Structure 1
Amino acid sequence: MSVFPPTADGLSQGVVRNALVILFGSYVAYGQPAGFVQTLHGTPLIVTGLREAVIGVVLGIAASTVFWAIEGAGCYIDDLTGYNNVQMTNPARGEQSTPTATLLTQVATVAFWTFGGMTFLLGTLYESYRWWPITLTFPRMPALIEAFAVSQTDSLMQMVTKLAAPMMLVLLLIDFAFGFAAKSASKLDLMGLSQPVKGAVTVLMLALFVGTFVDQAREQVTLSTLSKQLREWSHAMSRG
């Protein structure tokens, strides 16, 4: 939960996050054999803790991919508008980011909680105990965790490009228009006006299409397909 942007330190404090971990983990603990607790001491306890931490990090990275892509698209847009030097604190993580990246990240975070994304994330978490039960030392499909993580993170830059492509096209057309106009009237220095125009167009497009963005990216933001992809990978691994 520390890796996942909607539950990062800036949005959920340590006490709240620890309480959520205990609440969600209690369902897993309740379903374990009674004798399993007796074996959790010394080395087995450390191995079990490290194993669950690795699974949590992998699932956190896989679920965070769409949020990182959205933030990357915002940074890409600010690069094209010329406002990438304007930095502000991202309240989700307490780090410096560009204005559009921060705005899109906050919109995605609100959409995640509003549309019930945590329900799908918990479904994926509990699904992971089917292919690696907590009582087993090794997973039932050893290559699944690696293949699933790679499949989720491999297309990160493709997601960034697809999210930013419509606005990139408009901003590039503005650059071309000012370039042609400046070539025809070189004494007017029109290229200096392109940056404020691109900034105004970016704000206008964000205001007009942020609802469309949320609607189109709803499945990805709420992670509704994450559990399905995990099941497909597990079935493919079991058949292989």
Structure 2
Amino acid sequence: MDSYATAAQVYVAGLVFARVGAMVMLMPGIGDDSVPPRIRLSFALLMALLLTPLVQNTVGGVPTSVGGLWGQVIHEILIGLMIGSVLKLFFTAMSTAGEVISMQTTLSFAQTTNPSMGQSSTAVATFLSMLGLTLIMATDLHHLFIGAIVKSYDLFPFSRAVPVNDAATLAVRTVADSFSLGVQLAAPVIVFSLVFNLAVGLVGRVMPAFQIFFVASPLSVILGLSLLALSLGGIAMVWTDRYRDLLLIFN
């Protein structure tokens, strides 16, 4: 083994792979369930091999005990999970917007498999999730993912303890911001639904014998989806800017 790599080099590479692997498993796009695990592991291994020479001078000596070794590995995994989880949680803003739009346009019953979430969701939520993933790749935001992996060794060096309290606060704030952004993205359809339902209710009171359900349901779907189509450009720009701001925190 010494003819290929020393014990210290193998130790550093293992620590780097632990952090990078945890981040890659949760990153949007690369970490989706639709991506085969071998591809994700291969990407994480390649990144670890590239980063090991850059950070090997910041790592201390190899621990002399098994407990110290596992402590360092768990430390790196926790940091990787923390960063990857924040990036994954904010990505759910598009799914939240899709779910809200589906409820407002009576399309909640149209369920389909969401490749990015690994579970069933409404067709509109799946479409917006795929739109968000496409925007990440089209606007080169995935380059900031790689930058976040590299920069994490400056923000959270090997010798620094895992900031558990800060990580919990950041996770809670990310979930709140993600839900808030999802509702904001769906705001045009929410306003339309409110006005439309008030108008339908008024018509129903004025004309009790009129079969309002058979008229209102198709109109709600057609007008709601038309409004969604008109607002897609604004949704894409707002979400991309907010996600870029989040990624810049780790770069």
Instruction: Judge same fold: TM > 0.5, yes or no.
Output: yes
Which residue number in structure 2 is paired with residue 234 of structure 1? none
Task: After superposition, give the CA deviation of every residue in 1:40-97 in whole Å (9 maximum; x if it has no partner).
Answer: 8722332222122211221122112332111011111111222212211112233110
Which residue number in structure 1 is paired with residue 228 of structure 2? 206
Is the CA contact 2:200–2:216 (under 8 Å) kept in the aligned structure 1?
yes
Which residue number in structure 2 is paired with residue 108 of structure 1? 132
Confirm whether residue 225 of structure 1 aligns to residue 248 of structure 2: no
Closer, same or farther in 2 for the Cα pair 1:116/1:53, shift >3 Å?
same
Q: Mark the runs of 5 or more structure 1 residues left unpaired by the alignment.
A: 232-240
Separation in 1, partners of 2:248, 2:114: 31
Separation in 1, partners of 2:193, 2:111: 20
Which residue number in structure 1 is paired with residue 211 of structure 2? 189
Give TM-score, length-normalised by structure 2. 0.79
**Same amino acid, percent of matched pairs:** 20
Separation in 2, partners of 1:173, 1:197: 13
The number of residue pairs the alignment matches comes to 227
Separation in 2, partners of 1:196, 1:37: 68
Separation in 2, partners of 1:173, 1:46: 59
Quick one: which of 161, 178, 188 aligns to 1:166? 188
Confirm whether residue 74 of structure 1 aligns to residue 98 of structure 2: yes
Task: After superposition, give the CA deviation of every residue in 1:130-186 in whole Å (9 maximum; x if it has no partner).
Answer: 23212x1525x6754344334323323212221111111012211111111111111
Separation in 2, partners of 1:174, 1:40: 70
Which residue number in structure 2 is paired with residue 176 of structure 1? 198
Separation in 1, partners of 2:131, 2:212: 34
Secondary structure of residue in 1 paired with 2:187:
helix
Closer, same or farther in 2 for the Cα pair 1:98/1:215, shift >3 Å?
same
Separation in 2, partners of 1:40, 1:123: 33
RMSD: 2.5
Note the 1:26-65 alignment, pairs <5 A: 26-31=49-54, 32-33=56-57, 36=60, 38-39=62-63, 42-65=66-89
Separation in 2, partners of 1:164, 1:18: 36
- Of the two structures, which has the highest relative contact order with CA contacts closer than 8 Å and spacing of 6 or more? 1
Separation in 1, partners of 2:53, 2:61: 11
Query: How far is the alpha carbon of 1:14 from its aligned partner?
Result: 0.9
Note the 1:133-148 alignment, pairs <5 A: 133-134=157-158, 136=159, 138=161, 143-148=165-170
Query: How far is the alpha carbon of 1:230 from its aligned partner?
Result: 4.7
Which residue number in structure 2 is paired with residue 125 of structure 1? 149
Secondary structure of residue in 1 paired with 2:131:
helix
Separation in 1, partners of 2:160, 2:84: 21
Q: Mark the runs of 5 or more structure 2 residues left unpaired by the alignment.
A: 1-23
Secondary structure of residue in 2 paired with 1:12:
coil
